[in-house]
């Protein structure tokens, strides 16, 4: 009995110690931003790019003296949480950032499967959230506090469907997508809709589930349907397996993809099988503006590699938040949200975005081709 | 239609061979210790990574080795080290618990699995690794079928390993000792059988076979990540139970059945999402009608 009481009182003391720094005065002159990123799980390259770009932005802002709001200057402080690329962990990470770290706003998650549940948490907690890379319409749909820095899949599906029809002159197409993932499922359906509206025919619409490694039976079916183009709107860690298995089964048609291909890891894992394929994405380092070139240089200097689309979009998401913060004039969630909603035009490293009163920017997409083991600029498509 | 079915069957045999190899490890350990080694899927994962390490080392040598030699080198390297890992796990984690209730050992096995996953994650980072292509990726056309040399290699090597293991268990002194321990563990030491050594050897064998499976899987699906062993481990476990856990031929049969389930589910059902549903339903139905699995006989000739 005695020891039990001792234990309980010790736990109480420890609890006090634990909460003490948090309950006390938070640093008066700091702006807390949360980053909810896919650091582990099946697409760690996405989380790494997001973290890198956010840290680069925070370092640049702090080095330049911080954020000036009224007569005070604030340092940007980042709280980075790993969402393990799982929907439930993404929601938990958002919750932790909001309630425990009491961040002003959250950047991320990036994958739509994680961004949709996290967006619900942020909306309920009335905390602004900007997703850099989530293109599924559901992320911002019906929400007042959720924004994004990228185009949405209605547009992307249309871009790739048109590209397949007009540039590749395909009459028939096949799609293989992950049915358990919001992003893949959404864009696969948009592609099908727009490809058929443009007069083409989707001859095979096959699915699999996250974690599958063997796609041979779906690909055998697709091969039997003999399509002229195969659309793989899947993440960079799965696409190489799918392409390799397709080629091994003797499927020789053109293969196209979406912005989930954009990581350098794709080239490392995919090798020569991907040569000649096209995909749509958010920006191309080849045609960078002055602003983008500076970002690419700074990023390369700090991390020794070219930033991918997630990095560029995270930088834009953070810049968008800071621009809204300057306009809001005070580190207050409600004011920040109103300022974000009032922004109409924003020039980011991924190009010009215009907002039409929703959280979704209107911006152009680029199509890249994999040529000589590199992502090469092919075309830009404006909405 | 026929070539499509034949193509699917061929793919199923390739996948089933790998499942069968992993199922063997579950079944051997169960046969000898009546314990389910849930870390086995992760031992397979470590085997795949060790094969990768061996292959990368041999490919990185200043003189170019012929591809078959690299393959064999990677195979031996990975099988040896994974066998040692299996022995080590048994020695450190399972042997101290041999007298403890069986549930303790099962929970320990789950813990060992988590340890292996997270240790690999911490050591190598979360990025998936690419397995270098050791076998030329040519597509042979055999009467409408697309066959690759890799597919043939996997199928024949797995068959070779299975036949060798079957002979070992049925024809050698070690195999006799293994069967004896599974038949009556308390009595066997009295006959002078070194029980601990036989159990160690069983773990070594099971782990080495899983490593061979890891190399083949890595060649067939060349993206490795630290969590790859989880799903495959579960499927191999179902294979072992479907075939009759404790029975070696049953594990092989179960492996091929599960390969067929995985490949043919998306053929008949709208999506591969139903794979796990079909596999686990098969398990449940089978356990209702044949609780000992297809080839399992209660308390007779396990291992």
ipTM of the complex: 0.77
Nearest CA in chain B to A84: B126
Do A268 and A163 lie in one domain? The reply is yes
Classify each residue of B215-235 as buried b or exposed e, where b means 16 or more C-beta atoms within 10 Å of its C-beta.
bbbbbbbbbbbbbbbbbbbeb
pLDDT band at B298 (very low <50, low <70, confident <90, very high): low
Does residue A96 surpass a pLDDT of 80? yes
pLDDT band at B42 (very low <50, low <70, confident <90, very high): very high
Within 8 A of A244 by CB-CB distance, chain B residues are 137, 222
Mean model confidence pLDDT for chain A? 90
Catalogue the E-assigned strands of chain B: 129-130, 140-142, 145-147, 223-224
- The answer as to whether A2 is a domain residue is no
Write out pLDDT tens, residues B92-107: 999 999 888 888 999 9
- The answer as to whether A15 is a domain residue is no
Within 8 A of B264 by CB-CB distance, chain A residues are 217
Within 8 A of B15 by CB-CB distance, chain A residues are 214, 216
Instruction: Give the containing element (helix H, strand E) for A365.
Output: strand A365-371
Among A281, A301, A326, the domain boundary falls at: A281
Do A119 and A175 lie in one domain? The reply is no
| Segment A154-165 mean pLDDT | 94
- The answer as to whether A379 is a domain residue is no
| Segment B121-133 mean pLDDT | 87
| Segment A250-272 mean pLDDT | 91
Q: Do B272 and A271 touch (CB under 8 A)?
A: no
Who has greater pLDDT, B300 or B54?
A: B54
Q: Does B266 touch chain A (CB under 8 A)?
A: yes
| Segment A247-253 mean pLDDT | 91
Write out pLDDT tens, residues B155-204: 999 999 999 999 999 999 999 999 999 888 888 989 889 999 999 999 99
Do A165 and A268 lie in one domain? The reply is yes
Among B4, B271, B272, whose Cβ lies nearest the Cβ of A220? B4
**pLDDT for the residue numbered A272:** 85
Within 8 A of B221 by CB-CB distance, chain A residues are 213-214, 241
Q: Do B125 and A44 touch (CB under 8 A)?
A: yes
Q: Do B263 and A212 touch (CB under 8 A)?
A: no
**pLDDT for the residue numbered A26:** 47
Does residue B297 surpass a pLDDT of 90? no
Do A144 and A157 lie in one domain? The reply is no
Among B11, B222, B225, whose Cβ lies nearest the Cβ of A217? B11
Nearest CA in chain B to A243: B221
Do A247 and A352 lie in one domain? The reply is no
**pLDDT for the residue numbered A246:** 94
| Segment A282-299 mean pLDDT | 91
Q: Do A207 and B271 touch (CB under 8 A)?
A: yes
Among A40, A211, A217, whose Cβ lies nearest the Cβ of B231? A211
Do A64 and A139 lie in one domain? The reply is yes
Nearest CA in chain B to A217: B263
Domain CATH for A85: 3.40.50.2300
Asked whether the beta carbons of B158 and B17 are under 8 A apart, the reply is yes
Residues 6+ apart with CB under 8 A from A260: A183, A184, A233, A234, A235, A236, A239
Residue A219, domain extent: 153-281
Among A281, A303, A325, the domain boundary falls at: A281
- The answer as to whether A380 is a domain residue is no
Do A332 and A223 lie in one domain? The reply is no
Do A166 and A269 lie in one domain? The reply is yes
Q: Tokens 């621009």 sit at which residue?
A: A323
Do A165 and A275 lie in one domain? The reply is yes
**What percent of chain B clears pLDDT 90, i.e. is strictly above it?**
66
Phi-psi label, residue A332: left if phi above 0, alpha if psi -120 to 50, beta otherwise: beta
- State the architecture of B2-289 in CATH terms: Orthogonal Bundle (1.10)
Within 8 A of A250 by CB-CB distance, chain B residues are 139, 141, 146
Q: Does B132 touch chain A (CB under 8 A)?
A: no
Structure tokens at A85: 């690329």
Q: Do A44 and B221 touch (CB under 8 A)?
A: no
- The answer as to whether A226 is a domain residue is yes
Classify each residue of B177-188 as buried b or exposed e, where b means 16 or more C-beta atoms within 10 Å of its C-beta.
bbbbbbeebeeb
Q: Domain spans of chain B? A: 2-289
Do A350 and A254 lie in one domain? The reply is no
**pLDDT for the residue numbered A25:** 47
Min distance B124 CA to chain A CA atoms (Å): 12
Among B11, B125, B139, whose Cβ lies nearest the Cβ of A250? B139
Q: Does B107 touch chain A (CB under 8 A)?
A: no
- The answer as to whether A208 is a domain residue is yes
- The answer as to whether A8 is a domain residue is no
Q: Rounded to the nearest 5 degrees, what angle is found at the Cα of B295, between the Cα atoms of B292 and B296?
A: 35
Q: Do A250 and B141 touch (CB under 8 A)?
A: yes
**pLDDT for the residue numbered A21:** 47
**pLDDT for the residue numbered B125:** 84
**pLDDT for the residue numbered A211:** 82
Min distance B190 CA to chain A CA atoms (Å): 48
Of A16-20, A350-354, B48-52, B271-275, the poorest mean pLDDT is in A16-20
Of A74-88, A251-265, B138-152, the poorest mean pLDDT is in B138-152
Write out pLDDT tens, residues B192-210: 899 999 999 999 999 999 9
> Strand A345-348 vs strand A278-281: parallel, antiparallel, or unpaired?
unpaired
**pLDDT for the residue numbered A294:** 94
Write out pLDDT tens, residues A26-65: 445 899 999 999 998 888 999 999 999 999 999 999 999 9
Do A233 and A217 lie in one domain? The reply is yes
Among A265, A281, A297, the domain boundary falls at: A281
Does residue A5 surpass a pLDDT of 80? no
**pLDDT for the residue numbered A335:** 94
Do A123 and A268 lie in one domain? The reply is no
- The answer as to whether A78 is a domain residue is yes
Does residue B144 surpass a pLDDT of 90? no
Number of domains comprising chain A = 2
Q: Do B139 and A45 touch (CB under 8 A)?
A: no
Of A94-98, A353-357, B82-86, the poorest mean pLDDT is in A353-357
| Segment A287-304 mean pLDDT | 93
Min distance A351 CA to chain B CA atoms (Å): 29
């Amino acid at each position: 009995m005695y020891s039990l009481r001792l234990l309980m009182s010790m736990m109480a003391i420890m609890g006090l110690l634990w909460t003490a720094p948090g309950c006390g005065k938070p640093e008066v002159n700091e702006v807390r931003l949360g980053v909810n990123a896919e650091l582990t799980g099946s697409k760690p390259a996405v989380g790494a790019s997001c973290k890198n770009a956010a840290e680069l932005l925070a370092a640049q802002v702090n080095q330049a003296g911080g954020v000036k709001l009224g007569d005070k200057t604030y340092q940007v402080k980042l709280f980075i949480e790993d969402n393990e690329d799982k929907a439930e962990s993404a929601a938990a990470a958002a919750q932790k950032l909001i309630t425990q770290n009491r961040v002003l706003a959250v950047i991320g998650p990036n994958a739509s499967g994680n961004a949709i549940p996290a967006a619900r948490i942020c909306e309920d907690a009335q905390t602004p959230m900007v997703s850099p890379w989530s293109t599924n319409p559901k992320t911002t749909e019906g929400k007042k506090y959720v924004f994004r820095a990228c185009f949405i899949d209605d547009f992307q599906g249309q871009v790739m469907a048109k590209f397949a029809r007009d540039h590749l002159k395909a009459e028939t197409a096949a799609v293989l997508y992950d049915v358990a993932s919001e992003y893949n499922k959404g864009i696969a359906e948009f592609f099908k809709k727009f490809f058929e509206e443009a007069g083409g025919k989707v001859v095979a619409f096959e699915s699999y589930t996250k974690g599958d490694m063997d796609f041979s039976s779906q690909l055998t079916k697709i091969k039997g349907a003999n399509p002229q183009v195969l659309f793989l709107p899947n993440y960079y860690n799965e696409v190489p397996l799918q392409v390799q298995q397709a080629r091994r089964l003797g499927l020789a048609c053109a293969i196209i993809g979406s912005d989930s291909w954009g990581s350098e890891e794709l080239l490392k894992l995919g090798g020569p099988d991907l040569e000649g394929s096209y995909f749509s994405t958010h920006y191309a380092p080849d045609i960078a503006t002055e602003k983008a070139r500076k970002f690419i240089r700074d990023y390369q200097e700090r991390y020794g590699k070219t930033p991918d689309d997630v990095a560029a979009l995270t930088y834009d998401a953070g810049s968008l938040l800071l621009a809204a913060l300057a306009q809001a004039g005070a580190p207050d969630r409600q004011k920040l949200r109103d300022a974000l909603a009032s922004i109409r035009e924003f020039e980011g490293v991924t190009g010009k975005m215009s907002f039409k009163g929703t959280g979704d920017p209107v911006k152009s997409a680029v199509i890249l081709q994999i040529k000589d083991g590199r992502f090469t600029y092919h075309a830009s498509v404006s909405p | 239609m026929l070539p499509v079915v034949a193509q699917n069957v061929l793919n199923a045999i390739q996948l089933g061979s790998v499942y069968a190899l992993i199922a063997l490890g579950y079944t051997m350990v169960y046969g000898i210790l009546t314990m389910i080694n849930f870390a086995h899927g992760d031992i397979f994962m470590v085997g795949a990574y060790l094969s990768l390490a061996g292959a990368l080392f041999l490919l990185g040598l200043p003189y170019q080795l012929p591809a078959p030699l690299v393959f064999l080198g990677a195979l031996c390297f990975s099988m040896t080290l994974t066998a040692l890992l299996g022995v080590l796990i048994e020695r450190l984690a399972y042997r101290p618990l041999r007298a403890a209730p069986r549930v303790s050992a099962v929970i320990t096995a789950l813990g060992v699995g988590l340890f292996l996953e997270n240790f690999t994650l911490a050591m190598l980072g979360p990025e998936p690794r690419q397995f270098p292509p050791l076998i030329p990726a040519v597509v042979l056309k055999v009467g409408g079928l697309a066959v690759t040399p890799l597919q043939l290699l996997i199928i024949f090597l797995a068959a070779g390993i299975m036949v060798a293991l079957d002979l070992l268990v049925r024809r050698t002194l070690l195999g006799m000792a293994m069967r004896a321990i599974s038949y009556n563990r308390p009595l066997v030491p009295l006959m002078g059988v070194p029980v601990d050594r036989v159990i160690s050897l069983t773990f070594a064998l099971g782990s080495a076979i899983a490593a061979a499976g890891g190399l083949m899987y890595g060649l067939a699906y060349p993206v490795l990540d630290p969590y790859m062993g989880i799903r495959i481990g579960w499927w191999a476990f179902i294979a072992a139970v479907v075939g009759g856990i404790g029975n070696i031929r049953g594990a092989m049969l179960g492996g091929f059945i599960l390969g067929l389930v995985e490949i043919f589910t998306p053929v008949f059902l709208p999506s591969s999402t139903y794979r796990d549903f079909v596999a686990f339903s098969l398990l449940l139905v089978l356990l209702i009608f044949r609780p000992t699995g297809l080839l399992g006989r209660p308390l007779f000739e396990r291992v």
